[in-house]
Structure 1
Amino acid sequence: MPALASHRKPRSRTRTNSPAVGLTTAAIASVSLLSAQSATADPKPSIDEVQKKVDDLYRQAGSATQEYNRAKESTAKQRRTVDRILDDVAKRTDSLNESRRALGSYAAAQYRTGAVTPTAALLFADSPQAYFEQSQLMDRLTEQQRSTITEFEAEQAAAAKQRAQATKSLESLTASQQSLRTSKQTVQTKLAEARELLSQLTAEEKARLAELERKREEEARRKAEARAKAEAEAEAERQRQEREQQEQSGSGTGAGSDTGSGTGTGTGTAGGAYAAKAEKVLSFARAQIGKPYVWGATGPSSFDCSGLTQAAWKAAGVDLPRTTWDQVKAGQSVATADLLPGDLVFFYDDISHVGIYIGDGKMIHAPKPGANVREESIYYMPIYGSIRPA
């Protein structure tokens, strides 16, 4: 049978590897990829946003610094407690060993024979009292020996209690040390984030940021000057009223002799004792101007904010707590309008910063990492509240 011819239509062949077509496809893919990346990439923050972010990171670092200060103080306290308890345990153990030797000699004096030595039997017994009762020796013991047994059991119970206390204190110390490490890491992380954010700015952006900071400082200075003017006017009015009262009472000479010469409204109302302490506080604080801020530092070569306020008031004989959170509760609450030199002003809702009021709307404070102790307007940061120590 003759072969049948194929009825299939020959397959047409089309070239798909044309250089022109390949280049076009690659270009389209590249454009699509760039478009997708542009659509998903975060837009670069504005300078205002950078400033707010950096400020917030410094505030968070300040709050973490207070956590660190609290944990450090707690760790030191727990370590002292543990050391004291362990010393007591060691002394009590020596006393127990001495009592145990005495009891062993008592038992040995009563029995000279037996498979188990009297001392071993005494040590293995639940209590010396039980051992001697079971051995029918209580009637044969002297009063001194009975007293030794009673004292031994009391020492034994006290030693067990102290060992339990030591264990609990060691657990607290471990927790404080962990909190200290965590707080330290948080501070370092926040500061590193702030530095990284600033390092990404161009020279022009840094100049713009500096201009924003200058305007912010100028606004705070303007408010402080207005406050200073109001304080001066109020003080002048107070002195005028005093002179009038003295003239009316016929004691015009010596006017103002008992009012003091401090700065700020109501200077005389806080009393001479407070004014004297405040002068020591301000003298100390002014002597620290120019020293660097270092988080966790309490002097003498560097300070953080609460370390400075604590040291300044200590110079006046007043012991303040270590953290801003505790310092804000360490005195009489004072309205911003009634501030006197020496008062402590706290900032931010989380109470993470504090400064010492010096009058005229200004304070001395340790601002933040990279800055030195300095005078500045209290209006530079949002005020939380104020107290008057002592």
Structure 2
Amino acid sequence: MASHRRPKQPSRARVTVLTTIATAAVALTSQSAQADPKPSKADVKEKVDHLYHEAEAATEKASGAEEAENKLAKQVDALQDKVARGQDELNEMRESLGSMASAQYRTGGVDPAVQLFLSSDPDSYLEKASTLDQVSAKQAESLQQIQAKQRTLAQQRQEAQSKVTDLAETRKELTKKKKEVQTKLAAAQKLLNTLTAQERDELAKADAERASRGNDRIDLGNEKPTSGRAAAALEAAKTQIGKPYVSGAEGPNAYDCSGLTQWAYGQAGVSLTRTTYTQVNDGTKIGRGELAPGDLVFFSSLSHVALYVGNGQVLHAPKPGTVVRYEAMEWAGSFQFGVRI
């Protein structure tokens, strides 16, 4: 006979638990949706500008590491060449002493001191041989020269090895800084990609309009450079207007901020160091009220540099996605000080 029992109804406690779980799931889903809203255009711009600033600071440090790497590499090459030449000189000195021993043998025997030198390790022999009474004055002088050359070579080899170690550490630091730059730029691009194409175009257009309102119509006033080299550097920089900003670039097809200032002054016959952090020491520091065309202007914790052009305007390579251009100082960053070259 078929059973007619009704299905067991869930207990009130079980219903309460299920209801609570369902409510919590809905709440979590709602919170998750609210926790990650699409950022506004203004938020994206602020975050991207911050990332570009951080990337620029990392770029300057990378450029400094690259400059140090080049300097160390030249020092290592010079030291290694010096060691090689010294070894050749030492070999010649030993050969000369050997020739002296051969001559003695042909004329009646080898001096005991020279014989000792030729039959044992020269390094352990030299201290003993130099004190032997049998050594002639000429032989003693030759032995002392060899001993001095060996000490010099040992010191040069040690110095070269130390520089090689420094070079390896500097290259490691350079790689780290370059990776940091790329990470910051990638994060900025990822943020920009959250905007629509129209929104990105609007940001770019607003940035260009704010920058100079037309580089060919900008009012630079009538201020004059304080030196011929400043005037020449500024004129050189003006020829680069419109060329793109590229992290680590130093011309002539693209620039970062300190790459532009270094290149411009290079055209004026003045050698500036490579980074903002070192260019601050390439001249005399001055205040904002003392600025004249051609002076360097530093911004944003010294991570950015520009050329002052007059009337509160600068000429610089601003940031990724822009070109060398004029811009009002208030938009270039937080003013630190000027430097007159």
Q: Which TM-score applies when normalising by structure 1?
A: 0.73
**Match in the other structure for 1:377:** 328
The CA distance in 2 between the partners of 1:87 and 1:356, in whole Å, is 41
**Structure 1, residues 121-166: CA drift from partner, whole Å, max 9, x if none?**
3325513241364xx5x43x33222111110000011011101101
**Match in the other structure for 1:151:** 145
> Residue 76 of structure 1: CA displacement?
0.3
**Match in the other structure for 1:128:** 126
**Structure 1, residues 265-307: CA drift from partner, whole Å, max 9, x if none?**
xx4xx75xx1x32321222111111111111111111111101
The CA distance in 2 between the partners of 1:125 and 1:178, in whole Å, is 37
The answer to whether the 8 A contact 1:313-1:319 is kept is: yes
| Helix, strand or coil at the partner of 1:298 | coil
| Helix, strand or coil at the partner of 2:143 | helix
**Structure 1, residues 242-286: CA drift from partner, whole Å, max 9, x if none?**
xxxxxxxxxxxxxxxxxxxxx22xx4xx75xx1x32321222111
1:368 aligned onto 2:337 = no
**Structure 1, residues 86-143: CA drift from partner, whole Å, max 9, x if none?**
00111111112222233345556466699xx74553325513241364xx5x43x332
The CA distance in 1 between the partners of 2:333 and 2:267, in whole Å, is 28
The answer to whether the 8 A contact 2:130-2:144 is kept is: no
Alignment RMSD, CA only? 3.3
In structure 1, the gaps of 5 or more residues are 1-11, 233-262
**Match in the other structure for 2:291:** 339
In structure 2, the gaps of 5 or more residues are none
Q: How many residues align?
A: 322
2:170 corresponds, among 176, 180, 192, to 176
* Amino acid paired to 2:308: Y
The CA distance in 2 between the partners of 1:29 and 1:307, in whole Å, is 61
> Residue 59 of structure 1: CA displacement?
0.3
Change (3 A) 1:308 1:14: same
2:25 corresponds, among 33, 40, 49, to 33
Q: Which TM-score applies when normalising by structure 2?
A: 0.82
The CA distance in 2 between the partners of 1:211 and 1:34, in whole Å, is 42
Identity of aligned residues (%): 36
**Match in the other structure for 2:234:** 282
Change (3 A) 1:209 1:387: closer
Decide which structure has the larger Cα Rg and report it: 1
* Amino acid paired to 1:337: G
Change (3 A) 1:74 1:207: closer
The CA distance in 1 between the partners of 2:149 and 2:111, in whole Å, is 29
> Residue 308 of structure 1: CA displacement?
0.6
The CA distance in 2 between the partners of 1:304 and 1:214, in whole Å, is 18
1:80 aligned onto 2:74 = yes
**Match in the other structure for 2:44:** 50
The CA distance in 2 between the partners of 1:106 and 1:314, in whole Å, is 57
**Structure 1, residues 323-347: CA drift from partner, whole Å, max 9, x if none?**
1111122222232233211111111
> Residue 199 of structure 1: CA displacement?
0.5
> Residue 374 of structure 1: CA displacement?
1.3
**Match in the other structure for 1:236:** none
1:189 corresponds, among 183, 193, 200, to 183
